[in-house]
Amino acid sequence: MVVTGASRGLGRQIALACAGRGARVGLLARSAEPLQEVAAAVAALGSDARAWPMDVRDAAAVRATVDEVIARWGRIDVLVNAAGAKIEGPVEQADPDDVRRLFEVNCLGPMTLCQAVLPHMRRQGCGHVVNVSSVLGKRATPMRGAYAASKAALNALTDALRTEVRGTGIRVTLVCSGRLAPGSTNGLLVSSEQGAAERIVRCIERPSREVVLTAAARVLVGLNVLMPGVVDWIVTRWRTGEERS
């Protein structure tokens, strides 16, 4: 399998959780040193891993990396697009260059990875693409408009792709995550990175079309369908409370 964003956070946890189940893991991110550390941790679990430092915004590097993975292991069964970036601030003050870079990482990056990997999955007649998005891609909140927009774009690409590969044996899962925290404590509002990774690994084992992580995120998504005006009110109040504290 190939995991982007594997140098830290959720991507790292997914790589470790999959390695614990015997997967051979290609680790992708920009920072070489942390990637090597993750590769060593995977090796300690008795699995095979290799670090491929690269930038998901660089289409040529993405294609070259996928070619190297195929040359090494012959196939790619699972692609997890977990690399992501974020910016915060009001829409009125968003810097277009920052927003462009954000879209390049959060939306075009996964698309480029899919374009490089899918021909191999089609040849294999099977495969699974897991795109890690955010609940904010379903319902934006104040100060996170650009991030939410980049994730909403990823959601749309993922939904379209799922229908485009129907019948090929390739599965596509959208993961809409709520807030994650390092460590192992799971709660209503926040999920641990470890808990989220375990949930994602379960959906690799038994594919589903979509996973919404954290109970609070599921409530937000449901409520937003039924009463979007009430959600406007809640997220505005929430933000005001955060600013005061």
Which residues are near ligand NAP by CB under 6 A? 4-5, 7-11, 29-31, 55-57, 82-85, 105, 132, 134, 177, 179-180
Report the residue number, 124 or 223, with the smaller CB distance to ligand NAP. Answer: 223
Of 78, 60, 12, 5, nearest in space to 39 by CA: 12
Least distance (Å) between residue 106 CB and ligand NAP: 6
d(CA 224, CA 203): 25
Q: Which of residues 169 and 183 has its CB atom nearest to ligand NAP in the complex?
A: 183
* Min CB(163)–ligand NAP separation in Å: 22
Q: How far is the CB of 212 from ligand NAP (least distance, A)?
A: 11
Count of C-beta atoms within a 10 Å radius of residue 74? 9
Side chain identity, residue 127: G
Looking at the Cβ atoms of 38 and 165, the one nearer to ligand NAP is 38
- Min separation Cβ 169 and ligand NAP, Å: 26
Q: How far is the CB of 122 from ligand NAP (least distance, A)?
A: 25
Q: Is the dihedral of CA 159, 160, 162, 167 positive or negative?
A: positive
Catalytic choice (109, 134, 147, 153):
147
Contacts (Cβ under 8 Å, ≥6 apart) of 209: 162, 172, 173, 174
Please confirm, yes or no, whether 67 is among the known catalytic residues.
Answer: no
- Residue 53 contacts residue 31 (beta carbons within 8 Å): yes
Q: Which lies closer to ligand NAP via its Cβ, residue 75 or residue 179?
A: 179
Residues with Cβ within 8 Å of residue 210, at least 6 apart in sequence: 173, 174, 175, 176
Nearer Cβ to ligand NAP (166/209): 209
Q: What 3-state class would DSSP assign to 188?
A: coil
Select 122 or 179, whichever has its Cβ closest to ligand NAP. Answer: 179
The DSSP-derived string for 48-103 is -EEEEE--TT-HHHHHHHHHHHHHHHS---EEEE-------B-GGG--HHHHHHHH
Are the CB atoms for 138 and 96 separated by under 8 Å? no
Least CB distance from residue 82 to ligand NAP, whole Å? 5
| Residues annotated catalytic, as ranges | 147
